[in-house]
Structure 1
Amino acid sequence: MSAFVELVEKRRSIYALGTDSEYSKKDIENRIREVVQQVPTAFNSQTTRVVVLLDEANTKFWDHIYDVQKDVLEGGMQEWMSGVVTGAKNGIGTVLFFEDLDAVEKMPAQGARQEAYKQNNNANAQYAVWLALAEMNLGASLQHFNVGYEKGFDKGTKEMFNLPDSYEMLAQMPFGSIEQEAGEKEHIDTDIQVKVFNK
């Protein structure tokens, strides 16, 4: 098995996070910067913007998420969200993933194609950062709280950190030391996922 495949297998959704890491926060920040800069984007448009929250900023963000979501979610989802928020606040930090819509508008594509390119650009960054964190023996998960640019759901986050109005938040990735390993993961047959034709 190659080192890359081992890394892909190592990357799992981790919710119980801590602050015990052999890497400094500056090391983590620098690794995220290096990786994001190399992520491929449609037309080399480089539309993705990443915000790294540490310490007080991380706590403040997740307190905000909880305050907004606690009256929206019901039953089991409320309990699940509380667990995610607690884990995120106990971790080292959170990576926020945005698309700069001003940059998106400059791509030579419109409508559904532009939307697809935007989503693909951001997804590439999300996965690359997640793999980088896994390589540093850090756990993470991908969350989608308060997303909804047109309805202003991410407005509070942008105001909190003085981010441009053109930023659309697409995801959040809390990360930290792995305090509880992920469970077994079931896989469907690869022949269902991958089709190969040679004529």
Structure 2
Amino acid sequence: MSNFTDLQAKRRSTYVIGKNTDLSKEEITEALREAAKNVPSSFNSQTTRLILVFDDANERVWKEIHDVQKDVLDGAVWERMSGVIQGAGQGVGTILFFEDRDAVKENIPAAESQQNLYKQHNDAFQQYSAWLALTELGLGGTLQHFNIGYEQGFDKVFRELLNLPESYEMVAQMPFGSIEQEYEAKDYIDSDLEVQVFTEVK
């Protein structure tokens, strides 16, 4: 098992991904299942659902995203993000992160506003865990947020495409694959600003 801080340092946003890996779909799936099982959630509600798409399903997901976003984004934004979308479909697969709205209502004993906050925390935990699991496998990925909007129906096409329950609300996508480009240097803010320590208060 890799050292946790080493994995954190190795985890980076990888936009240029490919299919150059000896890992099977089963090995990747098992690693992600094992990681997901041990992720904390508010009230142990376990509301997050990771949907893995490979092969034709992966290509279809990113085609749907491309076809929608080309009519939504414009100018310089589309110029930049169209490359991200096209590159995402070139990898091994994608993790689609959903929150099960029925499970949120049933398993989080709190007001709706708090439920919405807690489910975002649940999903964020799972996203980071999955990203570290991919890093440990030697794979790279990014976190994307296309077609997000349950109330507006923006993610409906993916429920229909994958025959998912109506209660599944898409929160993010994580396309992943072999790392095909060197990372650029990363800037860090001052650690004393990021992590502040107090031993006394006024």
TM superposition score normalised by structure 1:
0.97
3-state secondary structure, aligned to 2:154: coil
- In structure 2, runs of 5+ residues without a counterpart are none
1:99 counterpart residue number: 99
Once residues 129 and 51 of structure 1 are traced to their aligned partners in structure 2, the CA distance between those partners, rounded to angstroms, is 12
Are the counterparts in 1 of residues 54 and 94 from structure 2 also a CA contact under 8 Å?
A: yes
Quick check: 1:117 aligned with 2:118?
yes
Equivalent residues in 2 for 1:1-199 (5 A)? 3-106=3-106, 107-199=108-200
Which deviates further from its counterpart, 126-135 or 178-187? 178-187
Question: Letter of the aligned partner of 1:16 in structure 2?
Answer: V
Cα shift at 1:173: 0.1
Shift of 1:156: 0.7
Normalized against structure 2, the TM-score is what? 0.95
> Which amino acid letter does the alignment assign opposite residue 68 of structure 2?
V
In 2, distance between residues paired with 1:98 and 1:44?
17
Take 2:166 and 2:185, find their aligned partners in 1: how far apart are those partners?
Answer: 41
Task: State the Cα distance separating 1:37 from its structure 2 match.
Answer: 1.2
Preserved CA contact (<8 Å) 2:143 2:173: yes
Structure 1 distance, partners of 2:111, 2:50, is: 24
Note the aligned Cα RMSD (angstroms). 1.1
- Matched to 1:188, the amino acid is I
Aligned residue identity for 2:192: D
Q: Which amino acid aligns with 1:20?
A: N
**Uncovered stretches (5+) of structure 1, i.e. residues with no partner:** none
Q: Secondary structure at the match of 2:71?
A: coil
Q: Is the 8 A contact 2:18 2:91 kept in 1?
A: yes
**1:109 positional shift:** 0.8
Query: What is the rounded CA distance, in whole Å, between the counterparts of 1:25 and 1:83 in structure 2?
Result: 25
Q: Give the deviation of 1:76 after TM superposition.
A: 1.9
Give the secondary-structure state (helix, strand or coil) at the position aligned to 2:176.
strand
Percent identical across equivalent pairs?
55
- Name the amino acid aligned to 2:38: Q
Q: Distance in 2 between matches of 1:64 and 1:116?
A: 28
Return structure 1 stretches of 4+ with deviation > 4 angstroms. Answer: none
Q: CA deviation at 1:35?
A: 0.8
Q: Distance in 1 between matches of 2:17 and 2:149?
A: 27
Residue type matched to 2:198 in 1? F
Q: Matches of 1:181 and 1:33 in 2, distance apart?
A: 28
